[in-house]
A and B are shown apart, each in its own frame.
Chain A
Amino acid sequence: MPLLLKWKIALLLCLLLLIEGLQAGEPILPLPRSHHQPAPKVALGRRLFHDPRLSGNGSLSCASCHVLERGGDDNRPLPVAASSPYPHNTLTVFNVRFNFRYHWYGDIAGLREQAQRALRQDMKAKWPQLVARLEKDRNYAKQFAALYPDGIQRQNVLDALVAFELSLITPDSPFDRYLRGETEAMTPLQRQGYDRFKSYGCAACHQGVNIGGNLYQKLGVFRDFIDDDPGRFAVTDREQDRFVFRVPSLRNVAVTAPYFHHGKVPTLEKAVAIMGEYQLGIQLPKDDIEAIVAFLHALTGNYRGRSLEDK
């Protein structure tokens, strides 16, 4: 009997520790430092990503809209090649691997489908033409032959692009360093901003590794968001999905202006104020906006060893 009692106590202690550990957790997790993608594939994907020959008329590459030297987006309200009925602001390509669905509507399940759709709809690519163009390039032929037994094929082009996109991570932002225990990596104002971020409930939606990007939410809980874009209703036809969008990631948000799906909000201050107004139904105090914006600036990470802010 005493043995059983001891076991019970040990079990309870373990459970307590577990729960304590979980309760002490932050809603946001730091980005991993390495992407674990094979270097040759990433190199090939990078070439393809920057190659305008992938588009139908040879004028656009993936990098035309996803400028890696800036925030992985085009910093325009709407993309150059806007084709869908409700054109949306270009999302960043950085850290895409941590999103659970893609685009503002979240109607695309994988990076492969995303790449395929972007090539077809935005870049007007035609596969036979594209493959023929790539086959003319000896370097491509060599690179593909080294990686894929069947050489230049549609699925291999997509695979290389996806591998490159998986490698696009921006670790070691000041906030990530803070989360890893480096308290001084963020300024006091930024720390205060994080506190506000959590206490206003922003972290209810903007959580996880990517600080968002892993659920859908209605835009305009306390006030209707006046816009003709119906949100996910356009793809699901469910009344409850009206004005529902995929929650965007806040990583590198300071370098991916302008904001919102329509790209009409040029600054972070305005964006934070709009979120307070529509999601909480209040006018956020100026100090708190300032602190939260400061915190959002701490989310800018490094790509290939350099901070995105420097570029």
Chain B
Amino acid sequence: MNTAKLSQIFILVAIPLALLYHSAALEVTSAARVAAAIRSLQLHDTELNRDVLLVRTGSLLHYDSLNRAMAACRLALLEVQSHIHHPPLKPLISVLNGLLREKSQRLEDYKSRIALLRNSLSYFLKLQEALANQAGKSAIAADAVGAAMLRFIRHPHARHRQALEMHLRKLEALGRQPAITHLIAHSQLIIKVLPQLEENLNQLLAIPVDKIALKLENQHQSLLAGLEQRAGLFRLALFLAAAGFFIGLLVLQTRLYRSLQQLRRAQRHLQDEMQQRLAAEREKNRLERQVLQAQKMEALGTFASGIAHDFNNLLGALRGYGEMAEEDLAPGHPANQSLRQIQSIIAQGQTLVERLLNFARPQKSRHQPQDIAAIAQETLALLHPLIPPGIQVHLENRLPARARVPGDASQLQQMLMNLCQNAIHAMGKEGKLTITLQFTSPDTIEILVADNGCGIPPQHLPLIFEPFFSSRVKQGGTGLGLAMVDRIIRNHHGHIEVESRPGQGTTFRILLTVCSTAVSGNSLQKSETQ
């Protein structure tokens, strides 16, 4: 699997690289140099042939240019050799190398022979001139020899050689003068050397350096053309491969994009589902807590009502016997005082029992539209005697007159009463109690009960609505006040929040749903008719 992937990648990389390598442009400079070198070889070979002929005719009196041309040819061939690496051209180059070596050898021989010839010819002319300037027969014979020599030099045929030899014999017959012997000796040398020189010259010019060079040039060019054509094909293949890769890339890109979209959708879906599940979990927990609380309350209620009932009976009996004892006693008896005290304590105990029974009794109230502002005013009026003089009480009513809350008036009043009593206890002798009534949203009324008392310690906050939890056990607190409040609010489908800063005060915030207009409208009509 893995090796298969690797080999796939290798092939994908190797194919373009191979195409790129094969389609690369040829070594342009090298090809140009070879072409220039071959041209130079041809040119200098031609120059050499020309100069060889010029030397033969006597138009060129030195051999420097011959050597230069030959050196240039060799240099050009070296250049060709160092730049051509194509095997098909190697045999031609080695042939050319051999030809140049042969030509160089023949050129050396040619130079030596022509120098020898010219040396003798110079001296021959000098002697011939000297002889021709003498008087007598020798002068005529020398002239004839000179003319014959000129013809022979120009056209070294057998006919001219025979004529020259004949004239030489004539001259020889004239005497044994040293000038004549030298003239004859040099003429013999010329006669001997000139045919060799001619043969040498023909061989030199026949060496087909130019033809082979031309062949090399043609082959080199056709080779280059072939290579170029092949490179062109590879370039085309490379282009096609590139196009293929590009298209493949586009397809892959599209697929990738689609997968990405799907993934995103799935992610969103998952998130939604997770949130739903979390919400469901939270709801379940809340319901479970409520059920637990309800069960607890019910158990507590049953228990409390049982005890309260028995206790009430006991108190009733105690009261009866107390009254009987009072009747039995003579008026003005000192025990009367104590009995009256006992009676009042029994009354208190009965009130407590009554409250317990109230708490435990399932409250099946009939909800009717209630004017919460009126209830609040009433509550404050009831509370008035209990309020210490140092405490200021404010009622801030921001509700419109028609605002109604569905509920039980007595329960609502008790709720407010409990809250206010707590606040007064928290403030002690002086402080400020504010009750605020206002809308928070068109269908929700907010009741704020705020004091600037001692506040609730943070560790107590989760417990304050539990029954029998009280921070004033010693002062006679029963721990039922706020539990009652919580219960009443739940009865009214409301909501309560506490905000407290120790030392600064506490604010209870109660949210109740307002009556729908129909209900409030009905109630309004009712109140009007009453």
Interface, chain A (partner B; CB < 8 A): 19, 22-23, 25-29, 98, 100, 198-205, 207-209, 214-218, 221-222, 240, 244, 247, 279-282
Contact = CB atoms under 8 A, between A and B. Distances in A.
B269 to A, nearest CB: 71
Given A22-B60, A25-B60, A201-B121, A100 B116 contact: no
A89 to B, nearest CB: 21
Contact of B126 (A199, A205, A240): A199
A29 B64 contact: yes
A204 B186 CA distance: 14
Contact of A217 (B61, B112, B123, B186): B112
Contact of A201 (B62, B64, B122): B122
Interface string B54-84: 1000111111100100010000000000000
A218 to B, nearest CB: 7
A184 B513 CA distance: 141
B115, B118, B126, B182: residue with the most chain A Cβ atoms closer than 10 Å? B115
B259 interface: no
B116 A221 contact: yes
B63 A207 contact: yes
A280 B63 contact: no
B67 A200 contact: no
B119 A204 contact: yes
11 contacts: A22-B59, A198-B122, A201-B118, A204-B121, A205-B115, A215-B111, A216-B108, A216-B111, A216-B112, A221-B119, A280-B119
B294 interface: no
B413 interface: no
Contacts of B123: 199-201, 280
A201 B120 contact: yes
A214 B524 CA distance: 144
B263 interface: no
A251 to B, nearest CB: 13
Contact of B115 (A215, A222, A280): A215
A215 B61 contact: no
Nearest to B64: A208
A28, A29, A203, A215: residue with the most chain B Cβ atoms closer than 10 Å? A215
A202, A240, A282: residue with the most chain B Cβ atoms closer than 10 Å? A282
A215 B112 contact: yes
B189 A221 contact: yes
Given A199-B126, A215-B111, A19 B59 contact: yes
A207 B119 contact: no
B112 A244 contact: yes
Contact of A207 (B61, B109, B178, B189): B61
B127 to A, nearest CB: 9
A200 B122 contact: yes
Given A204-B115, A214-B63, 8 more contacts: A26-B61, A27-B62, A98-B64, A205-B119, A207-B62, A215-B108, A280-B119, A280-B182
Contacts of B121: 201, 204
A27 B119 contact: no
Nearest to B124: A201
Contacts of A28: 62
A219 to B, nearest CB: 12
B141 to A, nearest CB: 20
Contacts of B345: none
A21 to B, nearest CB: 9
Contacts of B120: 201
Contacts of A201: 118-123
Interface residues of B, number: 31
Interface of B: 54, 58-64, 67, 71, 108-109, 111-112, 114-123, 125-126, 178, 182, 185-186, 189
A23 B57 CA distance: 10
A222 B120 CA distance: 11
A199 B59 contact: no
Contacts of B58: 23
A282 B119 CA distance: 13
B182 A282 contact: yes
A26 B112 CA distance: 19
A111 to B, nearest CB: 13
Nearest to A240: B109
A218 B59 contact: no
B111 A22 contact: no
Contacts of B112: 215-218, 244
Contact of A209 (B64, B108, B178): B64
A199 B62 contact: no
A244 B63 CA distance: 17
A25 B60 CA distance: 8
Contacts of A199: 122-123, 125-126
A215 B115 CA distance: 9
A151 B126 CA distance: 59
Contacts of B178: 282
B8 to A, nearest CB: 47
A130 to B, nearest CB: 28
A244 B115 CA distance: 13
Given A22-B60, A25-B60, A218 B116 contact: yes
Nearest to B120: A201
A93 to B, nearest CB: 19
Contacts of A214: 62-64, 67, 111
Contacts of A100: 67, 71
Contacts of A25: 60-61
A199 B116 CA distance: 14
Nearest to B118: A204
Contacts of A29: 62, 64
Shortest Cβ-Cβ A-B pairs, 6 listed: A201-B122, A27-B61, A201-B119, A204-B118, A204-B119, A207-B62
B64 to A, nearest CB: 4
A98 B182 CA distance: 34
Contacts of B62: 27-29, 207-209, 214
A261 B379 CA distance: 153
Given A198-B122, A280-B119, A22 B54 contact: yes
Contacts of B189: 221
Contacts of B122: 198-201, 203-204
A19, A201, A205, A247: residue with the most chain B Cβ atoms closer than 10 Å? A201
Contacts of B182: 280-282
Contact of B63 (A26, A200, A215): A215
A204 B190 CA distance: 14
Contacts of B60: 22, 25
Nearest to A100: B67
Nearest to B110: A215
B176 to A, nearest CB: 15
A106 B62 CA distance: 18
A189 B125 CA distance: 22
Contacts of A208: 62-64
